[in-house]
Structure 1
Amino acid sequence: MSEAYFIKEQAGQGPAAPTFVLLHGTGGDENQFFNLGRQLLPQARLVAIRGDVSEGGALRYFRRTGEGVYDMDDLAARTEKMAGFLAGLASEGPLIGLGYSNGANILASVMMAHPELFEAAVLMHPLIPWKPEPVEGLAERRVLITAGRRDPICPAPLTQALGDWFTGQGATAEIAWHEGGHEIVQSELAAIAGFVERYRDG
C-alpha cells in the first residue's frame, strides 16, 4: 500500500509552529476544513489529507461494508498507512489533528495504535463501534469530542463510551454536545476554537 496521499498544505510561521492535520468526512476532500484550519490556527502548518478510498465516488479513509460496519482489516492497514505518513510530518512543533465523521474515525484509530503521534486531537462526530483495548501513552494527550445527542449515524452512548475510554487511558478528554444530529453547528466550532486556543501563538 503506497504511503502517498494527495494533500493541500500551508507552511507554518516558524519551525516551532504546530502542524494541524485536517481530515474530511465521507464525500469531502482536502478543501472541506482548510479554511477552518486557517481560522483556528492561522500561524500553523496546515496539512489537509484527501482520503484514498472511494465509496461510490465519495472519498473516505478506509472501507466499510455498511453504515457503521467497518472492514476491520482494511481499517488496520490504512491506520498504519496514515500513521506512517503522519510520522513523516514530524517537526519541532506539536502535531494536532482535527477530523470529522470518517476523518474522526481514522484519527481515533491512529491515536489508539500510535498514541505518541498527536499531542491533541479534535474528533467531530466519531463512531468507534467496538470496545478498544487499553493503550499506554495517552496520558499527556488532549482530546475534544464534538457530537450531536440525536446523531443517527453516531449514537450518543457510543460517543460517551469513546470519551470515557480516552479518560480511562489517562488522556484529558471532554465532549462538547449539541442537541442536533450529524451536522456541524456553531457551538461545537466555538468549543473547538477554545480547545486549540493554547496553540495559536505557536
Structure 2
Amino acid sequence: MTVASYHALTRAPSGGAPLVFAFHGTGGDEHQFSALAADILPAAGFVAPRGDVCEHGALRFFRRTGEGIYDMEDLALRTRKMAEFVAAHRAENPDRPVYGFGYSNGANILAAVAFRHPYLFDRIALLHPLIPWTPEPSAGLSRKRVLVTGGRRDPICPPEQTGALLDYFRAQDARLELVLHNGGHELRQGEIDALRGFLTDTGMEMEKCP
C-alpha cells in the first residue's frame, strides 16, 4: 500500500506490542515525543509524522487564520490525507492495537481524524486539544477509550471548549478519562503520568469517567 506523503519518524514494533502514533504541537516536529514514547512503551512501533504546514517558521498539521480560527477547508483536506497515512501504516501492522496521542495542534488533527475514522485508533489521547466546531455524531466512538488533558487556565484551549469536547465524547458513549491541572498550555508531569497509564493499561474492563 502506498503511504500518503509525510516525512515521519518510524520504528517497527517488537513481538505483540502496539503501534503508537504521536502528533507534535505547533513548532514541534516528529522528534518531539520520540523519547517519551520509547520510555513508556519501548517495544511498541512508533510513527510520528511531521506537520507539513509552516506558520511563521513553526510546523503545523493544518492552516489557521488566527488563534483558534481554523481554515476548515484545509483541515478537511489534511484530515483525509492523515487518515490515509494512518490507515496505510495500520495495514502494514495487522492484528496490533493502534494508539494515538497528540499535543495541541497534534491533538486537533488526531481528533479530526478520529471523529471521521474512529476505527483507525483503539485508544486516543488528546493533550490540550482545541476543537472550535461541533463534530458530527460518530457511532464508532462508542466504548472507545479517550483521554483528554488540559489546563484550567489555558489561554489557547479555554476550559469551556474543553468542556464542549468532553460533552461530545460523552454523547458518543466513549470511555472517557480527564486530567486537568491548574496551569496553562504547558504539559505537566501529571499529564505525562496519565498518558503512561492510559497507554499501558491492560485492565480493559475498568472504566474511568470524570
TM-score range, shorter chain: over 0.9
The residue that corresponds to 2:14 in the other structure is 13
What is the TM-score normalised by the length of structure 2? 0.91
d(CA) in 2 for partners of 1:76, 1:82? 10
Unaligned runs of 5+ in 1: none
Cα contact 1:17–1:92 (8 A) shared by 2: no
The residue correspondences of 1:22-41 to structure 2 (distance < 5 A) are: 22-41=22-41
Q: Secondary structure at the match of 2:54?
A: strand
Shift of 1:198: 2.3
CA distance in 2, matches of 1:140, 1:13: 27
Q: How many residues align?
A: 197
Equivalent position to 2:129, from 102, 126, 131 = 126
2-side partners of 1:94 and 1:110: how far apart?
17
Instruction: Tell me which residue corresponds to 2:75.
Output: 75
AA in 1 matched with 2:29: D
Tell me how far apart the structure 2 counterparts of residues 131 and 139 of structure 1 sit (CA, whole Å).
17
Write the distance in 1 (CA, Å) between the matches of 2:27 and 2:128.
15
Query: What is the aligned-residue identity percentage?
Result: 55
CA distances 1:144-174 after superposition (whole Å, capped 9, x unpaired): 0110000000001111211121121011012
* Structure 2: 5+ residue stretches without partners: 203-210
Alpha-carbon distance in structure 2 between the residues aligned to 1:126 and 1:176: 12
Q: Distance in 2 between matches of 1:174 and 1:167?
A: 10
Asked if residue 95 in structure 1 is aligned to residue 98 in structure 2, the reply is: yes
C-alpha deviation, 1:140, in angstroms: 3.1
SS at the partner of 2:130?
A: coil
Counterpart CA distance in 1 for 2:177 and 2:161 is: 14
Q: Deviations over 1:100-127 (max 9, x none)?
A: 0000000000000111111101100000
**Is the 8 Å Cα contact of residues 127 and 158 (structure 1) preserved in structure 2?**
yes
Alignment-derived partner of residue 146 in structure 1: 149
Of 178, 188, 198, 1:195 maps to 198
- Structure 1 residue runs of 4 or more that deviate by more than 4 Å after TM superposition: none
1:44-193 paired onto structure 2 within 5 Å:
44-90=44-90, 91-193=94-196
